[in-house]
Amino acid sequence: MTLRFSVLASGSTGNAFYIESNKEKLLVDAGLSGKQMDKLFDEVQVSPADLSGILVTHEHSDHIKGLGIIARKYNLPIYANQKTWNAMEGSIGKLSLDQKFVFNMEEVKTFGDIDVESFGVSHDAAEPMFYVFRHGGKKVALVTDLGYVSERIKKTIEGADAYVFESNHDVGMLRMGRYPWSVKRRILGDSGHVSNEDCGLALTDVIDNNTKRIYLAHLSKDNNMKDLARMSVDNILRERGIEVELHDTDPLMPTGMYEVG
Ligand SMILES: [Zn+2]
Ligand SMILES: [Zn+2]
């Protein structure tokens, strides 16, 4: 019973997450060009033609840029909720009817031997949602692109073996930085992105003894740095006596395939 994953790419320039069991291969989001997506698959030695499907979190271009392209190229089914379908249909190009599937918010769908549960997040898209994956008693939670981590979300994601968790910005860097105020307000607001500090605080509530690894994800390239994100989150966890491995993600380089053990 094994569950393996790689964060293929993470950040505002494009997001893609790959997870597999021995039988099943799933992709979440395809936010880079078709060419870049192919390169990422190459680097983790996965053949995209073997995917069972692509799950979509929301219609922002950093999550769907290459979606239509690779779905057509490899004839893959796409899963998204109806509002996301409506919002993205104009920008992903033509798909055949048998590639379009609805995955409702707060639904559990089973793909072979992986159970996938979706949950809604507060973010400025039509109906954004993220996913928890379960297989053989293991649990992996993918949580990015959200303004804040609600109690409801915490309940859904608590006690996972591994997290891919948004640590978007350092609040000080964002406030001091060159972004116009309207953009700063969007990022800091309830439907924007989670800061390093909020990431650390939310993790202290959801981590338990099962938790081995956390990947800090969707880092802002202007308002954050890998070291700063890791140190900020680490400090918050340490203050509360929590020791867990923190790992970086990268906008263009996949993380090594991690076997949830
Ligand atoms: Zn995003
Ligand atoms: Zn987004």
pLDDT exceeds 90 at position 217: yes
**1 C-alpha to center of ligand 1: Å?**
31
Between CA 221 and CA 226 the distance in angstroms is: 9
Give me the mean pLDDT over the 171-176 stretch. Answer: 92
**78 C-alpha to center of ligand 2: Å?**
18
| pLDDT category of residue 189 using cuts at 50, 70 and 90 | confident
Q: What does DSSP say about strands 258-260 and 3-9: parallel, antiparallel, or unpaired?
A: antiparallel
**225 C-alpha to center of ligand 1: Å?**
17
**246 C-alpha to center of ligand 1: Å?**
20
Residue 55's pLDDT is what? 98
pLDDT exceeds 80 at position 261: no
**232 C-alpha to center of ligand 1: Å?**
21
* Ligand in nearest proximity to the CA of 142: 1
**128 C-alpha to center of ligand 2: Å?**
8
**199 C-alpha to center of ligand 1: Å?**
15
Q: What is the CA radius of gyration of the chain?
A: 17
**125 C-alpha to center of ligand 1: Å?**
10
183-188 long-range contacts, Cβ below 8 Å, gap at least 24?
186/124, 187/220, 187/223
Looking at residue 159, its amino acid is G
Higher pLDDT, 176 or 76: 76
Q: What angle do CA 135, 158, 152 make, to 5 degrees?
A: 115
**136 C-alpha to center of ligand 2: Å?**
31
SS (H, E, C) the chain: CCEEEEEEECCCCCCEEEEECCCCEEEECCCCCHHHHHHHHHHCCCCHHHCCEEECCCCCHHHHCCHHHHHHHCCCCEEECHHHHHHHHHHCCCCCHHHEEECCCCCEEEECCEEEEEEECCCCCCCCEEEEEEECCEEEEEECCCCCCCHHHHHHHCCCCEEEEECCECHHHHHHCCCCHHHHHHHHCCCCCCEHHHHHHHHHHHCCCCCCEEEEECCCCCCCCHHHHHHHHHHHHHHCCCCCEEECCCCCCCCCCEEEC
Closest by Cα among 77, 68, 30, 19 to 49? 77
| pLDDT category of residue 236 using cuts at 50, 70 and 90 | very high
Share of the chain above pLDDT 70, in %: 100
* Ligand in nearest proximity to the CA of 59: 2
Half-sphere exposure of 231 (CA within 13 A, CB side): 6
Residue 174's pLDDT is what? 93
Higher pLDDT, 204 or 176: 204
**122 C-alpha to center of ligand 2: Å?**
10
pLDDT in tens, 2-57: 999 999 999 999 999 999 999 999 999 999 999 999 999 999 999 999 999 999 99
**12 C-alpha to center of ligand 1: Å?**
5
| pLDDT category of residue 90 using cuts at 50, 70 and 90 | very high
**11 C-alpha to center of ligand 1: Å?**
7
Closest by Cα among 145, 142, 175, 36 to 84? 145
What is the value of pTM for the model shown? 0.97
| pLDDT category of residue 125 using cuts at 50, 70 and 90 | very high
Share of the chain above pLDDT 90, in %: 95
Give me the mean pLDDT over the 159-183 stretch. Answer: 95
Q: How far is CA 78 from CA 6, 93, 103, 115, 184, in A?
A: 19, 13, 9, 16, 33
